[in-house]
Amino acid sequence: MNVIKTYFEAKTLSEKDIEQSSQLSEKIKESARQIWLAGLGAYNKAEEDTGKIFERLVKEGEELENLTRGAVEKRFKVVEEHVEDVREKATGTFGKLENVFDQRVSAALSRLGIPTQKQIASLTARIDALEAELKALKK
């Protein structure tokens, strides 16, 4: 039961990370749009005024872009690490769960007297050998 609970907790964590990543992405898109609009307004204003204002705005825009890019890259790295951790945990947990399930099904089939695939293959090989021996004796 703990294995299943851990699997679903890991899956929930992954969904939270995806939701946070999606929200961050939307914020970044909105910020990019606002920056674009501000840039258009600044460009218009720069044409009216002097080239000095334009140059100052470009410099401030570059600084803002550098700050934004660094923050976004850091956040994406954190999200990628979380997703990878969750994926590893989920894969390991699922493998353990599958192994436990296989063992229990095999034990139940054994208790019911149902032969395994190995046993059937062994019996088939013995029958083939006996048939060949019988044919040899008939000749």
pLDDT digit string (tens) for 13-50? Answer: 567 767 777 787 788 888 888 888 888 887 777 677 66
Nearest to 47 by CA among 33, 61, 57: 57
Strand, coil or helix: 113: coil
Residue 132 is predicted with a pLDDT of 93
Query: What pLDDT is recorded for position 37?
Result: 82
Q: State how far the Cα of 105 lies from the Cα of 116, in Å rounded to an integer.
A: 11
Looking at residue 12, its pLDDT comes to 55
User: How many CB atoms are closer than 10 A to CB 45?
Assistant: 12
Confidence of residue 129 (pLDDT cuts 50, 70, 90): very high
Q: What is the pTM of this model?
A: 0.31
Token couple for 129? 């050998």
Q: Which two tokens stand for residue 102?
A: 């296989």
| Stretch 51-56: mean pLDDT | 74
Domain edges within the chain: 2-114
Distance of alpha carbon 87 from alpha carbon 106, whole angstroms = 28
Give the three-state DSSP class for 1.
coil
CA torsion, ordered 122, 128, 129, 130, to nearest 10 deg: 110
Instruction: Work out the mean pLDDT of the chain and round it to a whole number.
Output: 79
Helix axes 2-48 and 51-111, enclosed angle (nearest 10): 170
